[in-house]
Structure 1
Amino acid sequence: MFSSALKSFSSNINSNYTVISSPTSTSGPWKIHDGKKKSTGKAVSVFVLDRKSLDSHSGSLGRSSAASMKRATEEVVDRLKKEASSLARLRHPNILELVEPVEETRNGGLQFATEPVTASLAGLLAEKDEEERPGGRGGRSSRFVTEDSEGGRRRRELEIDELEIQKGLEQLSKALEFLHDHAGLVHGNLTPDAVFINAKSDWKISGLSFSSPPDGSTKATSVQPINLSEALNVDPRLPRSVQMDLDFCSPDFVLDSNLNVGADMFSLGLLIIALYNSPHISPLQTNSSVSTYKRLFTSSSTIPSAGNSFLSSRPIPKDLTTSVLPRLITRRPAQRMTAKEFQQSAYFDNILISTIRFLDSLPTKTPNEKAQFMRGLSRVLPSFPKSVLDKKVLPALLEEMKDRELLSLILQNVFKIIELLPSGRRPFTEKIMPRLREIFLPPSNSKGPVERDLVKEAGLMVLLEHITEIKNNCSGKEFKDEILPIIHLAIESPTHSIVDASLRSLPIVLPVLDFSTIKNELFPVIASVFSKTSSLGIKVRGLEAFVILCGGTNDPAANNDGLDGIMNANASKKSSSTALDKYTMQEKIVPLIRAIKTKEPAVAVAALNVLRQVGGVADADFVAMDILPVLWSMSLGPLLNLKQFQSFIELIKSLSSRVEAEQTKKLQELSGANGSSAAQNDDFMSFGGTNAFGSTNGGAEGGEIDFERLVKGNAGISESTNSMDAGWDAAPHPQHPNPLETRTQNQQRSPGPPQVQRHLPSIRTITQWGH
Structure 2
Amino acid sequence: MAFNMGALKGFANSLSNSVSSTVFSTYSAVKDVLPGNPVTREYEVGEHVASAGPGLIWKVFSGYKKSTKQAAAVFVLEKRILDRFERPERDYLLEVFRKAVSQLTRLRHPQILTVQHPLEESRDCLAFATEPIFCSLANVLGRTENMPSPVPPNIRDYKMFDVEIKYGLMQLSEGLAFLHDSVKMLHRNISPESIIVNHQGAWKIFGFDFCIPNTAPANQPPLWAFPEYNHGTSVEFGYPDMDFLAPEYALSGECKASADMFSVGMIAFTLYNTKPLFCNSGNWGIYKKHAQELRSLRESNLQLIPPDLKEYLKLLLNVTPELRPDAAQFAKIGFFDDIGVKTLNNLDSQFQWDNLQKSQFYKGLPVIIPKLPHRVALHRVVPCLSKEFVNPPMVPFVLPGVLQIAEEASKPDFEAYILPDLKKVMRLTEPVQILLIFMQRMELLLAKTPPTDVKNDVLPMIYRALESDASQIQELCLSIIPGFAGLLDYQAMKNALLPRIKKLCISTTLLSVRVNCLICIGKLLTTLDKWLVIDEILPMMQQIPSREPAVIMGITGVYKLAFTDDKLGLTKEVIAAKVLPFLFPLSIENGLTLPQYNVIMTLIRQMIAKVEEEHSAKLEQLTSLQNEQRSALQISMSENTQVRPDQLIANPSGSASAMDDMFSGLGLGSYVQKKDTGAIATGLMSSYSPDMSKNTGQQGQAKAMSLEEKRRLAQQSENIKKLDHQPRLSPAPTSMSPRISSTGSSGKDLTSSLMERNLTQMKSSQSLTQFPTTTPNYGQMSSFNSTMMSSNNQSDWGMAKPSQASKPDLSAFDSLLTPMASGQKQSMNSMLSPMGMMSGPRSGQGMPGMTTNLGVKPLSPNDISDLLS
Q: TM-score range by the shorter chain?
A: 0.7 to 0.9
**Is residue 2:438 matched to residue 1:463?**
yes
| Correspondence for 2:752 | none
| Correspondence for 2:469 | 494
Offset at 1:385? 1.1
| Correspondence for 1:268 | 264
Question: Using the alignment, how far apart are the partners of 1:660 and 1:281 within structure 2?
Answer: 87
Give the aligned length. Answer: 620
| Correspondence for 1:76 | 93
Q: Determine helix, strand or coil for the equivalent of 1:209.
A: coil
| Correspondence for 2:654 | none
Q: Determine helix, strand or coil for the equivalent of 2:614.
A: helix
Offset at 1:416? 1.9
Q: Determine helix, strand or coil for the equivalent of 1:126.
A: coil
Deviations 1:346-376 (A, max 9, x none): 1111222122221111222233222221121
Q: Determine helix, strand or coil for the equivalent of 1:189.
A: coil
**Is residue 2:415 matched to residue 1:415?**
no
Q: Which amino acid aligns with 1:331?
A: V
Which protein, 1 or 2, shows the higher relative CO under an 8 Å CA cutoff with sep ≥ 6? 1
Question: Using the alignment, how far apart are the partners of 1:81 and 1:95 within structure 2?
Answer: 17
**Is residue 2:53 matched to residue 1:33?**
no
| Correspondence for 1:741 | none
Question: Using the alignment, how far apart are the partners of 2:478 and 2:305 within structure 1?
Answer: 55
Q: Which amino acid aligns with 1:41?
A: K
Counterparts of residues 46-65 of structure 1 (less than 5 Å): 46-55=74-83, 57-58=84-85
**Is residue 2:194 matched to residue 1:194?**
yes
Offset at 1:335? 1.8
Question: Using the alignment, how far apart are the partners of 2:201 and 2:538 within structure 1?
Answer: 57
Counterparts of residues 143-222 of structure 1 (less than 5 Å): 143-145=151-153, 158-214=158-214, 216=216, 218=218
Q: Which amino acid aligns with 1:507?
A: P
Question: Contact (CA 8 Å) 1:234, 1:289: kept in 2 or not?
Answer: no
**Is residue 2:411 matched to residue 1:425?**
yes
Change (3 A) 1:410 1:22: closer
Question: Using the alignment, how far apart are the partners of 1:631 and 1:157 within structure 2?
Answer: 67
Change (3 A) 1:110 1:584: same
**Is residue 2:502 matched to residue 1:531?**
no
Counterparts of residues 363-378 of structure 1 (less than 5 Å): 363-378=351-366
Question: Contact (CA 8 Å) 1:196, 1:205: kept in 2 or not?
Answer: yes
Question: Using the alignment, how far apart are the partners of 2:306 and 2:707 within structure 1?
Answer: 116
Change (3 A) 1:156 1:325: closer
Counterparts of residues 510-521 of structure 1 (less than 5 Å): 510-521=485-496
Q: Which sits farther off after the overlay, 470-479 or 169-178?
A: 470-479
Question: Using the alignment, how far apart are the partners of 1:699 and 1:246 within structure 2?
Answer: 136
Question: Using the alignment, how far apart are the partners of 2:370 and 2:353 within structure 1?
Answer: 24
| Correspondence for 2:129 | 113
| Correspondence for 1:349 | 337
Q: Determine helix, strand or coil for the equivalent of 2:141.
A: helix
Counterparts of residues 675-754 of structure 1 (less than 5 Å): 675-676=627-628, 683-685=669-671, 696=705
Q: Which amino acid aligns with 2:236?
A: R
Counterparts of residues 253-332 of structure 1 (less than 5 Å): 253-277=249-273, 280-300=274-294, 305=297, 307-309=298-300, 311=301, 315-322=304-311, 324-332=312-320
Q: Which amino acid aligns with 2:304?
A: P
Structure label with greater radius of gyration:
2
Q: Which amino acid aligns with 2:571?
A: D
- The match for 2:538 among 569, 583, 590 is 590
- The match for 1:14 among 40, 43, 46 is 40
Q: Which sits farther off after the overlay, 460-469 or 657-666?
A: 657-666
Question: Contact (CA 8 Å) 2:250, 2:291: kept in 1 or not?
Answer: no
Q: Given the two structures, how large is their TM-score scaled by the length of structure 2?
A: 0.66
| Correspondence for 1:609 | 557
Offset at 1:626? 0.7
Q: Which amino acid aligns with 1:662?
A: E
Offset at 1:479? 2.2
Q: Which sits farther off after the overlay, 13-22 or 500-509?
A: 13-22
Q: Which amino acid aligns with 2:43?
A: Y
Q: Which sits farther off after the overlay, 188-197 or 369-378?
A: 369-378
Q: Which amino acid aligns with 1:265?
A: M
| Correspondence for 2:653 | none
| Correspondence for 1:559 | none
Offset at 1:156? 8.2
Unpaired stretches in structure 1, ≥5 consecutive residues: 59-68, 130-139, 146-153, 443-451, 552-577, 701-720, 725-765
Deviations 1:724-754 (A, max 9, x none): 9xxxxxxxxxxxxxxxxxxxxxxxxxxxxxx
Counterparts of residues 326-405 of structure 1 (less than 5 Å): 326-405=314-393
Change (3 A) 1:48 1:683: same
Question: Using the alignment, how far apart are the partners of 2:772 and 2:425 within structure 1?
Answer: 96
Question: Contact (CA 8 Å) 2:226, 2:255: kept in 1 or not?
Answer: no
Question: Contact (CA 8 Å) 1:24, 1:143: kept in 2 or not?
Answer: no
| Correspondence for 1:734 | none
Q: Which amino acid aligns with 1:118?
A: F
Change (3 A) 1:549 1:291: same
Offset at 1:524? 1.1
Q: Determine helix, strand or coil for the equivalent of 1:208.
A: coil
**Is residue 2:563 matched to residue 1:547?**
no
Change (3 A) 1:677 1:339: same
Offset at 1:53? 1.2
Q: Determine helix, strand or coil for the equivalent of 1:499.
A: helix
Offset at 1:193? 0.1
Offset at 1:216? 3.8
Offset at 1:304? 7.1
Q: Which amino acid aligns with 2:309?
A: L
- The match for 2:611 among 656, 659, 662 is 659
Question: Using the alignment, how far apart are the partners of 1:598 and 1:156 within structure 2?
Answer: 67
Question: Contact (CA 8 Å) 2:62, 2:72: kept in 1 or not?
Answer: yes
| Correspondence for 1:125 | 141
Q: Determine helix, strand or coil for the equivalent of 1:598.
A: coil
| Correspondence for 1:233 | 231
Q: Which sits farther off after the overlay, 481-490 or 289-298?
A: 289-298
Question: Contact (CA 8 Å) 1:124, 1:158: kept in 2 or not?
Answer: yes
Q: Determine helix, strand or coil for the equivalent of 2:186.
A: coil
Q: Which amino acid aligns with 2:500?
A: V
Q: Determine helix, strand or coil for the equivalent of 2:108.
A: coil
| Correspondence for 2:761 | none
Question: Using the alignment, how far apart are the partners of 1:360 and 1:722 within structure 2?
Answer: 124
Q: Which amino acid aligns with 1:545?
A: C
Offset at 1:424? 3.7
Offset at 1:91? 0.6
**Is residue 2:620 matched to residue 1:632?**
no
| Correspondence for 1:756 | none
Q: Which amino acid aligns with 2:378?
A: D
Question: Contact (CA 8 Å) 1:191, 1:248: kept in 2 or not?
Answer: yes
Question: Contact (CA 8 Å) 1:212, 1:224: kept in 2 or not?
Answer: no
Q: Which amino acid aligns with 1:399?
A: K
Q: Which amino acid aligns with 1:653?
A: R
- The match for 2:420 among 413, 420, 434 is 434
Question: Using the alignment, how far apart are the partners of 2:470 and 2:360 within structure 1?
Answer: 27
Question: Using the alignment, how far apart are the partners of 2:242 and 2:536 within structure 1?
Answer: 81
Q: Determine helix, strand or coil for the equivalent of 1:494.
A: coil
Question: Using the alignment, how far apart are the partners of 2:708 and 2:617 within structure 1?
Answer: 34
